């Protein structure tokens, strides 16, 4: 049943399958938000490495306004991650089904705010661009912290640098253990199948992020900020069933 499937995706009782399915869904959304956000405000909002580097550059160059903007983006990402952790721990202590659904519902609401802010960007760019960047960075931090806690830091949906690094690591493992098979007397599980499974998971997350970026950029190009509505609706759908379970129980 679709309801049972949606319940398992964000249930407190986790399985590898539900982690993979939820991770791929969120990677698609993160890619779409990141690409659409770039077309909207000219900045990628999940790329903290670039933001920290730009902070150093702007400090040296004396670009005060850009320095403040970069600092606010970094702090917004941190605040989003912290907020996600607080919400999850608060719900966990109360035994709620929606401990992982609550950050997703908040993310859906913030994406709707992004769509609303977008209508004011052209006329009030000086004010609304920094607010929009901070909002999107908060959303990225919120999502990344949630999926990291769910998967025990195995899956991240906005941190593509880490994904590519881990893919390279698994490729290296596969190449090494294929070229240098285990010696007689060595015990333990064959590492190649595990490396292949990890490679397939990480590769699928990278692919979904890319496809989400294509969809987000294309949607923004065609319909503007209305492209955020399907993304918000998808997050709302992911979060709805566990939250309804908690309402029914209370």
Query: Domain extents for the chain?
Result: 2-10+17-249
- Is-above-0.75 flag for pTM? yes
Q: What is the mean pLDDT of residues 158-175?
A: 88
- With the CA atoms of 3, 6, 7 and 8 taken in that order, what torsion angle do they form, in degrees rounded to the nearest 10? 130
Domain 2-10+17-249: give its CATH code. 1.20.1250
- What pLDDT digit, counting tens, does each position of 20-43 carry? 999 999 999 999 988 888 887 777
CA angle centred on 142, ends 138 and 144, rounded to 5°:
115
- What pLDDT digit, counting tens, does each position of 221-234 carry? 888 888 888 999 99
Rounded CA-CA distance 3/41 in Å is 37
- Chain-centroid distance of CA 67 in Å reads 25
The pLDDT assigned to 192 comes to 82
First to last CA, the chain: 24
- What pLDDT digit, counting tens, does each position of 88-126 carry? 999 999 999 999 999 999 999 999 888 877 766 666 666
* In the block, residue with structure tokens 């903290």: 48
């Amino acid at each position: 049943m679709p309801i049972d499937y949606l319940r398992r995706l964000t249930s407190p009782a986790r399985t590898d399958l539900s982690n993979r399915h939820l991770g791929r869904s969120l990677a698609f959304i993160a890619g779409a938000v990141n690409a659409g956000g770039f077309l909207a405000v000219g900045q990628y909002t999940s790329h903290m490495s670039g933001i920290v580097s730009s902070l150093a550059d702007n400090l040296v160059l004396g670009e005060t306004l850009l320095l403040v903007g970069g600092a606010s983006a970094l702090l917004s990402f941190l605040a989003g991650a912290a907020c996600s952790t607080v919400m999850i721990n608060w719900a966990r202590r109360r035994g709620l089904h929606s401990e992982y659904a609550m950050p997703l519902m908040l993310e859906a609401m913030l994406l709707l705010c992004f769509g609303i802010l977008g209508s004011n960007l052209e006329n009030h760019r000086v004010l609304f661009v920094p607010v929009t960047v901070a909002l999107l960075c908060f959303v990225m931090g919120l999502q990344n912290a949630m999926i990291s806690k769910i998967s025990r830091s195995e899956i991240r949906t906005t941190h593509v640098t880490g994904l590519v690094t881990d893919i390279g690591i698994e490729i290296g493992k596969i190449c090494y253990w294929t070229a240098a098979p285990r010696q007689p007397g060595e015990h333990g599980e064959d590492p190649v199948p595990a490396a292949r499974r990890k490679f397939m998971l990480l590769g699928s997350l990278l692919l979904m992020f890319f496809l989400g970026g294509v969809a987000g950029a294309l949607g923004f190009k065609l319909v503007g900020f209305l492209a955020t509505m399907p993304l918000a609706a998808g997050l709302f759908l992911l979060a709805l069933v566990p939250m309804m379970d908690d309402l029914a129980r209370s």
